[in-house]
Amino acid sequence: MKNFYQTFKNSIYNPSFYQNIATAPFWEAFRFYAKATVALAGVMAVALAVFLGIVGGAFIKYRAADLVKNYYPEALTINIDKGQASAQVAMPYFVPVKSMNGATTTVGSVQNLLVVDTNHEFDKKSFLEYKTYALLTKTDLVTSNEDGQITIQSLRNAPPMVISQAMLLSFIEQIRSHAVAIIIGGGIAMFVVFLLGFAFYLVILLLFALIPLLIAWIKKEQLSYSSAYKMSLYAIVPALALKTLLNIMGLFFLPAYLTLLVFMLVIALNMRNEEEPKLFEAR
């Protein structure tokens, strides 16, 4: 662990360390990258699992059932079978938008969360007149976003199901009773997803490795592509660590080029000679 921490520090800034990478075995660079990304994927997965466990657990425990009772009418039971929907209610059936206290309200021009009309096919004019987020017809689920864009999703491949308030409340109770297993399973799934994302950087580095090659060419120094790739395996780790830290802090919508910029900075700082002035040092 101590050696790994020291190597991580060197990967951030240590020109002598980067100069010796050319003669070091490729396996050492790959092993460091593998250990670092496994650790980063684990930290990210645990952080998200804890966050989702706290926020999601509180939502399921204290709010989900009340929201279902408030927004989904007890009288409405939707049956989907063989790609067709049906409901034993007078058509069209309106599920209005409601405020937190249960009073009907309007969001912009939208007055209904859902309109069920399985007696007719989709008609754009009728859909607009319904002023709804979603319309369920006999064969389609039609939705509209904030920009007014309409999406039609066919029920052809939908599995057979019965949707009712009782079913939704039962589903919430099942989630509540298996919350720990769901959180652990979700954490493992996120760990695998993050690890696959970091593994993809092994391909991206095939392109990133051209940066140290370019710097070496500008400085008229000898550097092979394999050595540049080994350098890249070390230099990308600080960039990924910073990205992971920012994600944990809630900054998920980071510029796509942030990792590249940090990588370029690490490479530029570490490909200087010891006798060259340090950053911000007067010449």
| Cα 259 to the center of its chain, rounded Å | 17
Share of the chain above pLDDT 90, in %: 47
Q: Is 253 helix (H, G, I), strand (E, B) or coil?
A: coil
- pLDDT band at 111; cut points 50, 70, 90: confident
E strands, the chain, are 78-81, 84-87, 93-96, 112-116, 132-136, 140-144, 150-154, 161-163
Per this entry, what is the length of the chain?
A: 283
CA distance 259 to 53: 29
What local confidence, expressed as pLDDT, does residue 279 receive?
42
The span from the CA of 127 to the CA of 95, in Å, is: 14
Bridge-based pairing of strands 112-116 and 132-136 is parallel
Q: What's the pLDDT score for residue 280?
A: 39
Least confident range from 29-38, 62-71, 193-202: namely 62-71
Q: Is the pLDDT of residue 154 over 70?
A: yes
- pTM surpassing 0.75? no
pLDDT exceeds 90 at position 221: no
Structure-token pair, residue 159: 């599995």
Residue with the larger pLDDT of the pair 95 and 62: 95
How much is the mean pLDDT over the chain?
87
Which residues touch 37 (CB under 8 Å, ≥6 apart)?
195, 198, 199, 201, 237, 240
Please answer whether residues 85 and 137 qualify as being in contact, where contact means their C-beta atoms are separated by less than 8 angstroms: yes
Structure-model confidence comparison of residues 193 and 102, the more confident one? 193
Q: What is the mean pLDDT of residues 187-194?
A: 94
Q: Is the pLDDT of residue 249 over 70?
A: yes
Per-residue pLDDT for 140 more than 60? yes
Identify each DSSP E strand in 12-165 by its residue range: 78-81, 84-87, 93-96, 112-116, 132-136, 140-144, 150-154, 161-163
**Buried b / exposed e along 254-282 (16+ C-beta atoms within 10 A):** eeeeebbebbbebbebbbeeeeeeeeeee
